[in-house]
Structure formats: C-alpha cells, structure tokens
Amino acid sequence: MNAIHVNNSDNVGTALTLLHKNDKALEVTIQEEIPKGHKFATKNILKGQPIIKYGAHIGVANKDIKSGEWVHIHNIDGERGRGDLDSTLKTIKQDGNRSHSITNSSKEYKITGFRRPDGSFGFRNHVLIIPSVHCANKVVERIANEVKYSGISSSSDSKVVFVNHQHGCSELSYDATQTQDVLVGSGANPNVYAVLVVGLGCEVVQAESTAKQIKTRTPYKRVEYFNIQDCGGVNASVKKGVEIVKTMLNQAMAVKRSEGSLADVVLGTECGGSDSFSGLSANPSLGAASDIIVNHGGKVVLAETTELIGAEHILAERACNTEVHKQILDTIRNFEQTVIDSHADIRGANPSPGNIEGGLSSIEEKSLGCIYKAGNTTVNSVINYAKPITADGLTFMNTPGNDIEQLSGMAAGGCNIVVFTTGRGTPTGSPIVPTIKVASNTDTFIHMNDSIDLDAGTVVRGEKTIQEMGVEIIDAIVDVGNGQETKAEENEQNDFSIWRLATTV
C-alpha cells in the first residue's frame, strides 16, 4: 500500500511513500512528485470547492486541481483563523457525528506510586523548587544543583527538581494571577512531595502567598518559602535553600510506594512537531489509550485550543450536556477570534513550518488529526488554563497550542502523567510529570531514539492496529507508574513555560 484514503467522502489521499509521476495510488495516476506524507487529489477539484480529509473541510482550493496533483499550501487556503484573508469568524455547517467505537480493555492493570492523604496518586515523589519571580531563577538552580551533587541519597522517582520562568513581576493583575495559578498548581501536583518557593522580595507574585496557596490546596505537604532580599543575598539564600531541601529529600526518600490502578491516572494528552501521520497513527492510538483509561475510571485531558479550530463541531457533539456543548464552541471560537484580530495568516505559527513540511496544509487539517488524541468518550467538563482537573472522564482545558505552555498548564491542573505524540520529533518533558513520547512514524522514532519512547509507525505499516498500539501505550503508562523512567526524564528535560495573556508593564 502506497497511499491511504482516511474517509470515503475525502477528495484527497495521503502518500505513505514518495510517489513519482505516473505512479498509481488509490486508483489514481499521479501527475507530479508527491512527498511522503503529503496529499494528492483523488478527483478533480474546482477552484472554490472544499478540500475534504477526515470527512471534513481542511480548506478550499484556490485554483483548479486535477486528479493526481499535489495538494498543499500552494493551492489550498484554510477557511479558519485566517486574519490575513478575512476579519470574520466563519461558521461552516458540517456533520459532527462520528460512529467511531470506544476502545476498552478487560485487563486489570496494577500501578504502584505514591498515594497522598487526599486520595490523589503520584507517579513520582519529587521535591520541587519554584522561583516566584524570574529574578530568583539562578538561586533556585544553584540550590537544586548543590543538593544534587552533594552526595545525598535520592532516586529516579524521588529527587530534587526545579523550574525556571520569565514571569512574576511587571505583570497586569490577570497575568499575575495566571502565573501564580501555574506555580501553585505545580506545587500541588500529586507527583510533588514537598515544595520550596524562593522569591526576591519586591515582586508582584510573592513567594509567601504562593507557598500559602500551595499549603491550602495540599495541607499535608511540607511547603517552605523565603526571599533573597531577606536572606542578605545569593550565597546566604543558596545555603538556606540547600539545608531546607536536603531535609525535604530525606523525608521523601522514606515514603513507600503503594498500589494504584488506571482509575488513579490523570492523563494529559499532547501532540507537538506533528506531521500528516500524526492523525493516522500516534493520535488515534493515544485516543484508544484515553478510552481505556476513562473506562477504568481515570481522567483524561484534551488541550491545545488552537489545534481544535475546524474540529470543534466533532468535539461539541460529544458533550455531556448543552452547557458543555456551548462551552466547547465558545472557547474555541473566542480563541480563533483572537487569531483573526491579529490580521495574520495562522499558518507558519500553527501549523508551524515543520508541520507544513511534514504534510499539514491548514489549521483545520492539523485539528482534525489532533482531536483523535481524546478518543471517543463523552466530554464532561471545560476548564480554564491550569485550573484543577476535577471531573471524571474527559476534560477539555483551554490552552495555547505551544507545547511547553500547554504541558505546564496540564501539570498545574493535576495531570500525573502525559503522553506526547510527535511526527517530527521533540525532546520536551516536564520536571514533575513523566512524559511518554510516541512517534507517528518509524523514521522519526529511529532518528530521535534518545528522545522518543514508542513507535506508532507500526500502525502506518499495518503491523499493529490502532487498538493494539493503544494497549501498548497503556502498558508504557503502567511501566512508568512502576518506576521506569521516560526518555525525557533520562535527559532531565525540565521544560516549563507559562501562557502570558498581555504585555509586560
């Protein structure tokens, strides 16, 4: 098989290998070279007609396209998020109903981890050091490194981790609140045993208030704070921080693992560096795993709001009630309006240049592939960025598409593990949440093997079904829960970034 037709109503196919002129693919004679992963017309498409993939619009033809010709950004215009073409938000009537079945597994999965007094479950048991403001970044980093290299006992699942960020001061009130929400949520995450917050002393987001909010959310945790100005400078602050963190780490090392199950999983789903295979292999496989977790009583989070533009009609049809249905549509359309108000072409920002090189031509095409990550269960809740994840089953969190801002928001919401699909490859990982990387194609899995855990290219080659790959993802989640490090953890990827809403003042 050299090409695939995703849906019977599609008028484009996707090349599974490099196609040459006069090759036959899907009973079509190829008219020009089609790069691997890119699209070609399976019938004549007139200028102004929609391009259909996944059974939905991914744009319109900006010129006549003959059967067998390459279909990409040179002859397709996205209909959504195109502030350069139009200043209005379009409503395109499409059927959102899908007949996809929900994947389940009767197998009982046992996970070991760290049961917290409030019932939450940690896959890790780390001591986290947080700067309340970017002025404290270097002090925090020095504390972490001095403890790490002091010879004190630690383990892969109970160690000192830290974050750096560029926020905490000169922020308008709503940005300062969002910064504090992410910092507090990170400290309250069940993968964190204890927290030290370090401030400068004169910033907007104060160390004391941040620490007290963490303590209020998780009263069973040891939470400490201090300001560099009060300590008398850098060296005194580092010395004080090392003493506090060493004590915290000794206490963390004494905590024993306890048993858990998939019902304890709060799974964050993410895709980054996507290509056209992401929506054919890795994302649907993660969707199958998401279904299994929900059916076993766990929680799943779908995010990346910009990467749902053009697929919101499908997600909204899965809402548990009319209120959630409206929240889904409003959240996505409001984000799209912000993009339109910029009067810029969303392409190049999302999909990114790498996404486009990988075969994605519009935000709609990317979105229709992204949505598969969340499987097919009911959407039970819509929440804002970094807010606590409380609803059972599937939750939609409003986040940007930026990988690290999204990852940090889901971790702050309470995700205890993340599965991150990628077509082009990425090293991204969280300091507090184990992040399993799944490649959409085998070439990327081999080429970036030190950063990627699983190969969903087996689905493209027909060696595994989407359901079988979904079970493999579940097995990997269980392994990580039982202490196996992800590639991102091995590489000490402590990526952390906060979604900024306005300008610095």
**Mind listing the pLDDT tens digit for each residue in 241-297?**
999 999 999 999 999 999 999 999 999 999 999 999 999 999 999 999 999 999 999
Report, as an integer, the average pLDDT of 465-470: 96
Say whether the peptide bond before residue 351 is cis (omega within 30 degrees of 0): yes
The fraction of the chain above a pLDDT of 70, given in percent, is 100
Evaluate if residue 442 carries a pLDDT over 90. Answer: yes
Q: Is the dihedral of CA 360, 361, 367, 369 positive or negative?
A: negative
In contact, 251 and 154? CB cutoff 8 Å: no
Please report the pLDDT score of residue 344 as a whole number: 86
Q: Is residue 418 very low, low, confident or very high in pLDDT (cuts 50, 70, 90)?
A: very high
In contact, 194 and 434? CB cutoff 8 Å: no
Please report the pLDDT score of residue 88 as a whole number: 79
Nearest Cα residue to 359 out of 426, 277, 438: 277
Please report the pLDDT score of residue 123 as a whole number: 98
Please report the pLDDT score of residue 98 as a whole number: 73
The torsion angle over the Cα atoms of residues 156, 157, 161 and 166, rounded to 10 degrees, is 110
What 3-state DSSP class applies to 379? strand
In contact, 309 and 400? CB cutoff 8 Å: no
In contact, 433 and 411? CB cutoff 8 Å: yes
Q: Is the dihedral of CA 457, 463, 465, 468 positive or negative?
A: negative
Report, as an integer, the average pLDDT of 364-386: 96
Phi (first) and psi of residue 454, to 5 degrees: -130, 155
Better-predicted residue by pLDDT, 501 or 90: 501
> Rounded to whole angstroms, what are the CA distances from 303 to 298, 395, 397?
17, 8, 5
Please report the pLDDT score of residue 141 as a whole number: 98
Determine the Cα–Cα distance for residues 253 and 157; give it in Å rounded to an integer: 9
Determine the Cα–Cα distance for residues 469 and 466; give it in Å rounded to an integer: 5
In contact, 424 and 356? CB cutoff 8 Å: no
Please report the pLDDT score of residue 93 as a whole number: 81
Q: Is the dihedral of CA 369, 472, 452, 131 positive or negative?
A: positive
β partners of residue 76: 61
How many CB atoms neighbour CB 254 within 10 A?
8
Report, as an integer, the average pLDDT of 161-183: 97
- Distant-in-sequence, close-in-space partners of 123: CB < 8 Å, separation ≥ 6: 111, 113, 114, 157, 191, 416, 417, 433, 434, 480, 481
In contact, 176 and 170? CB cutoff 8 Å: no
Please report the pLDDT score of residue 90 as a whole number: 77
**Mind listing the pLDDT tens digit for each residue in 13-56?**
999 999 999 999 999 999 999 999 999 999 999 999 999 999 99
Report, as an integer, the average pLDDT of 152-168: 96
DSSP 470: H
Determine the Cα–Cα distance for residues 169 and 340; give it in Å rounded to an integer: 29
3-state secondary structure 205-228: CCHHHHHHHHHHHCCCCEEEEEEH
- Maximal CA-CA distance, the chain: 76
Task: Report the Cα 2 to chain-centroid distance in Å.
Answer: 30
Determine the Cα–Cα distance for residues 194 and 54; give it in Å rounded to an integer: 46
In contact, 289 and 315? CB cutoff 8 Å: no
Evaluate if residue 87 carries a pLDDT over 80. Answer: no
**Mind listing the pLDDT tens digit for each residue in 342-355?**
888 888 888 999 99
Evaluate if residue 117 carries a pLDDT over 80. Answer: yes
Mean pLDDT of the chain: 95
Q: Is residue 1 very low, low, confident or very high in pLDDT (cuts 50, 70, 90)?
A: confident
β partners of residue 50: 60
Please report the pLDDT score of residue 143 as a whole number: 98
Please report the pLDDT score of residue 503 as a whole number: 84
Evaluate if residue 97 carries a pLDDT over 80. Answer: no
Determine the Cα–Cα distance for residues 489 and 487; give it in Å rounded to an integer: 5
Report, as an integer, the average pLDDT of 124-153: 97
Nearest Cα residue to 264 out of 378, 123, 376: 123
How many CB atoms neighbour CB 322 within 10 A?
8
Report, as an integer, the average pLDDT of 369-398: 97
Q: Is residue 104 very low, low, confident or very high in pLDDT (cuts 50, 70, 90)?
A: confident
Report, as an integer, the average pLDDT of 2-13: 94
Element (H, E) at 55: none
Length of the chain: 505
How many CB atoms neighbour CB 120 within 10 A?
18
Report, as an integer, the average pLDDT of 428-451: 97
Report, as an integer, the average pLDDT of 316-331: 97
Q: Is residue 369 very low, low, confident or very high in pLDDT (cuts 50, 70, 90)?
A: very high
Annotate 245-301 with DSSP letters as a single string.
HHHHHHHHHTPPPEEEEGGG-EEEEEE-S--TTTTTTHHHHHHHHHHHHHHTT-EEE
Evaluate if residue 181 carries a pLDDT over 90. Answer: yes
Evaluate if residue 363 carries a pLDDT over 80. Answer: yes
